[in-house]
Structure 1
């Protein structure tokens, strides 16, 4: 079995969304003092490679802990968008429709993971346009994902795409993926399980691709 890790490591030095505090990993028990090591982890729910549920935007909508486990596993397809320049849109012609309709997850590869820990990671990354968003909403997808820090442009404080995605759909959105360039252009198995936290508005995940 071939397995590809699509997850950034959580660390105190990692990039975070503007206005968010960086993680704090504090050793509270040590080998020398206590005979074991234990760490106090302080992180925002939307740090690193993470997942948004509808409750991230709408108070009355579904939280991550209310989804069944089946929501977080299935077949995925990577959409190669690495030729797009900053500020351009992800358009429907990027998607192989015949393959996409058989997928549970559409993962958009902008090549942005190569900018991780570089200030340019916060530049004007390409985002899906209205036609692509409508295609997603009309499909039966469990989730979508990106190797950038947001579904919306970083300057869109209204979170327009988030609102449209979650308004009437129980779907998840994944941000800050990596290594999508290693996944090929055919369907593959994909999992993205979040922590099961009560009333969860978002959670770091361990995103994995694998091939039988």
Structure 2
């Protein structure tokens, strides 16, 4: 079995969304004093490679713990968008290159190549985002989730979170942000899992996103 980790490591000096705080790793128990090590972790639910459910934007909508585990596993397809320049939209031209495979996937993962900017100021730049036609294509489909190797579904400048609201208004779907290594996944369907922590009334959670192929 071939396995690729698509997840950034959570660490105190990692990039975080503007206006939030980096995670804190606080010593709780030590080998010397207690005979074992335990750490108190303090962080936002949308830290690092993470997932948004509809409840992230809408009160009373589905939280991550309300989804069945089946929601977080399935077939994925990487949509190569790395040729787009800053500020260029992701269009149907990128998706149509994959023919019927795009409709057969449970997850569409958009590869911009921005994970290579992780840890630099340019990661917070004008990354490409979905245009309206692609949004309508996703909303009309039967996808479990979409994902990106950038920090947001919306541009950072869009404080209204227009695309988030459109995606979650009536759709039972998850949105994944801050993926990495999507260029290693090829141009065909593969197995993908993205399990979140099962937190009560969860508006978001870090995930361990993994791609794998059965030989």
Q: Distance in 2 between matches of 1:97 and 1:159?
A: 30
Q: Distance in 1 between matches of 2:211 and 2:166?
A: 28
Aligned to 1:98: 100
- In the TM superposition, residue 60 of structure 1 has moved relative to its aligned partner by 1.6
Structure 2: gaps spanning 5 or more residues: none
Q: Distance in 1 between matches of 2:191 and 2:59?
A: 32
- In the TM superposition, residue 201 of structure 1 has moved relative to its aligned partner by 0.2
Aligned to 1:77: 77
Q: Distance in 1 between matches of 2:60 and 2:93?
A: 35
CA deviation map 1:161-207 (0-9, x unaligned): 00000000110000000000000000000000000000000000000
1:174 maps onto 2:201 in alignment: no
Structure 1 residue runs of 4 or more that deviate by more than 2 Å after TM superposition: none
- In the TM superposition, residue 28 of structure 1 has moved relative to its aligned partner by 1.1
- In the TM superposition, residue 5 of structure 1 has moved relative to its aligned partner by 0.1
Aligned to 1:156: 158
Q: Distance in 2 between matches of 1:55 and 1:121?
A: 26
Structure 2 residue matching 1:137: 3-state secondary structure = helix
CA deviation map 1:1-34 (0-9, x unaligned): 0000000000000000000000000111100110
Equivalent residue in structure 1 for 2:193, among 191, 198, 205: 191
Aligned to 1:64: 64
Q: Distance in 2 between matches of 1:115 and 1:124?
A: 12
Count how many residue pairs are aligned between Structure 1 and Structure 2: 212
For 1:103-182, list aligned pairs within 5 A: 103-182=105-184
Equivalent residue in structure 1 for 2:202, among 200, 203, 207: 200
Cα RMSD (Å) of the superposition?
Answer: 0.5
Structure 1: gaps spanning 5 or more residues: none
Structure 1 residue matching 2:100: 3-state secondary structure = helix
The TM-score, its normalising length taken from structure 2, stands at 0.98
